[in-house]
């Protein structure tokens, strides 16, 4: 072999070695998104924000010089597809450091596997069953590797019912107000049902039998006639905005005089535009301290991240986009801590979530509400900010314009500080 060929061989070995180091210098993340299934109306902006945020992190140097290798998959809100993807992500030869999850049914189905494989999952499900890391409450199985950002579905509903009880008194009404839980017979809308009905009873409501409507848009005239004839005063909408819009419109047409309480995915700016005046007055929880274009230092970071998929900066991003940016940046900082403390393994990333109290990701001041996860309690917050959708006049036209001129508004109504009751952990 000549000197020249020896040098070529050595150069090739160095190149191959360098390439394998480069390949190793990545941190793998699984990302479950719903862009086509039953919750795609809210899953699309949320999933886009997760993808944008991690692309922005990579653009700005990654984590400790390592790029995030994000495997985004549209699983169509189908549990079997989520399980198949999890098998890939948990395989020894391609194990991810973390998962950005989505739905309640799939997240709950994976909880035991996440714990066994030590892979943290920050989901788009806020089911209270995911908040008990050790299973000490006896109400849910241990979920040490499950996280989410924002109040649980149960705590949000408790807060809305506290507001509703005050609202009933403020209006000078007598007798027991009537409350009804509405939504699909599915793990997500049902997640806070028992907790909501229990506190409703405590607060003096008469709890009516639940009314079921599907996760997809449809004709829900029958449900609205039942709602009207039941005499319900307050109704919780447990589905995402797309099917809730159908209910709001049908109930307006039926003349049902009900105060609707939306879950966190149940109302947003796009829904208010589509539903028009039928969406006027819906109460719902907001996870972030401000909406799009809000007056907060952290909005500059959100705008930068948004430009990853919208260089023009002209697309209006709904509340779910901003909440997803917060969620992804909590994950980023947990991975960052892990990378500096033994490496970005799932076990270390989970420990990373427990390192800070009243935690707001860097650069997100005034946008993300402070969160605290401990090894014994994964309720990030028990503070619930309640907003009311206000719709005045026509909602035809560009959403930016409608929001700018105040045709659609999200008005803050009340902040409810719930006690961190041990008996509410996991429920």
410 pLDDT higher than 50: yes
pLDDT band at 225 (very low <50, low <70, confident <90, very high): very high
- Confidence (pTM): 0.93
4 pLDDT higher than 60: no
Record the tokens describing residue 242, joined without a space: 């797309």
pLDDT digits (tens, 9 = 90+) for 6-45: 444 444 444 444 444 444 489 999 999 999 999 999 999 9
E strand intervals along 34-150: 67-74, 98-100, 121-122, 146-147
Record the tokens describing residue 362, joined without a space: 């860097």
Q: How far apart are CA 250 and CA 248, in angstroms?
A: 6
pLDDT band at 377 (very low <50, low <70, confident <90, very high): very high
- Which distant-in-sequence residues (6+ apart) come within 8 Å of 409 by Cβ? 389, 390, 403
pLDDT band at 261 (very low <50, low <70, confident <90, very high): very high
Q: How far apart are CA 124 and CA 32, in angstroms?
A: 10
Question: What per-residue confidence (pLDDT) applies to 25?
Answer: 80
Record the tokens describing residue 49, joined without a space: 């924000």
DSSP 178: E
Q: Which domains does the chain have, with CATH numbers?
A: 25-151+297-352 (3.40.50.2300), 153-288+382-424 (3.40.50.2300)
Question: What per-residue confidence (pLDDT) applies to 6?
Answer: 42
DSSP 77: T
Q: How far apart are CA 180 and CA 168, in angstroms?
A: 15
Q: Which residues partner with 286 through β-bridges? A: 385
Q: Residue range 281-291: average pLDDT? A: 98
Q: How far apart are CA 212 and CA 218, in angstroms?
A: 12
329 pLDDT higher than 50: yes
Averaged pLDDT score across all residues of the chain: 94
pLDDT digits (tens, 9 = 90+) for 102-150: 999 999 999 999 999 999 999 999 999 999 999 999 999 999 999 999 9
Question: What per-residue confidence (pLDDT) applies to 294?
Answer: 94
Q: How far apart are CA 272 and CA 389, in angstroms?
A: 7
pLDDT band at 164 (very low <50, low <70, confident <90, very high): very high
CB contact burial 120-135 (16+ within 10 A = b; e otherwise):
bbbbbbbbbbbbbbee
CB–CB of 163/414 below 8 Å?
yes
pLDDT digits (tens, 9 = 90+) for 304-314: 999 999 999 99
2 pLDDT higher than 80: no
CB–CB of 152/193 below 8 Å?
no
Q: How far apart are CA 196 and CA 86, in angstroms?
A: 32
Q: How far apart are CA 422 and CA 416, in angstroms?
A: 18
């Amino acid at each position: 072999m000549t000197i020249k060929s020896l040098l070529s061989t050595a150069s090739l070995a160095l190149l191959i070695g360098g390439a394998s180091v480069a390949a190793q210098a990545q941190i793998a993340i699984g990302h479950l998104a719903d862009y086509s299934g039953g919750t795609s109306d809210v899953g699309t902006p949320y999933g886009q924000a997760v993808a944008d945020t991690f692309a922005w992190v990579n653009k700005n140097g990654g984590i400790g010089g390592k790029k995030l290798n994000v495997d985004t998959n549209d699983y169509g809100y189908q549990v079997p597809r989520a399980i198949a993807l999890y098998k890939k992500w948990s395989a020894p030869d391609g194990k991810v450091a973390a998962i950005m999850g989505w739905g309640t049914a799939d997240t709950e189905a994976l909880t035991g596997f996440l714990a066994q494989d030590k892979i943290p999952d920050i989901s788009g499900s806020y089911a209270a069953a995911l908040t008990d890391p050790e299973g000490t409450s006896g109400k849910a199985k241990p979920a040490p590797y499950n996280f989410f950002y924002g109040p649980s579905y149960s705590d949000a509903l408790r807060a809305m019912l506290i507001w509703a009880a005050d609202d009933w008194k403020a209006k000078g009404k007598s007798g027991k107000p009537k409350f009804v839980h509405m939504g699909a017979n599915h793990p997500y809308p049902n997640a806070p049902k028992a907790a909501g009905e229990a506190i409703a009873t405590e607060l003096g409501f008469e709890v009516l039998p639940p009314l079921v409507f599907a996760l997809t848009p449809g004709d829900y005239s029958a449900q609205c006639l039942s709602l009207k004839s039941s005499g319900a005063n307050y109704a919780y909408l447990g589905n995402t905005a797309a099917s809730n819009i159908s209910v709001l419109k049908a109930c307006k047409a039926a003349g049902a005089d009900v105060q609707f309480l939306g879950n966190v995915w149940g109302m947003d700016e796009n829904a208010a535009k589509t539903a028009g005046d039928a969406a006027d007055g819906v109460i719902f929880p907001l996870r972030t301290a401000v909406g799009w274009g809000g007056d907060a230092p952290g909005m500059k970071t959100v705008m930068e991240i948004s430009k990853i998929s919208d260089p023009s900066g002209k697309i209006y991003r709904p509340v779910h986009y901003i909440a997803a940016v917060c969620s992804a940046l909590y994950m980023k900082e947990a991975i960052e801590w892990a990378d500096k403390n033994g490496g970005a393994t799932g076990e270390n990333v989970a420990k990373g979530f427990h390192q800070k109290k009243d935690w707001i990701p860097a650069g997100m001041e005034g946008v993300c509400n402070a969160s605290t996860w401990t090894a014994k309690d994964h309720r990030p917050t028990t503070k619930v900010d309640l907003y009311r959708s206000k719709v005045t006049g026509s909602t035809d036209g560009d959403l930016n314009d409608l929001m700018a001129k105040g045709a659609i508004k999200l008005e803050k109504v009340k902040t409810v500080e719930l006690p961190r009751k041990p008996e509410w952990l996991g429920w």
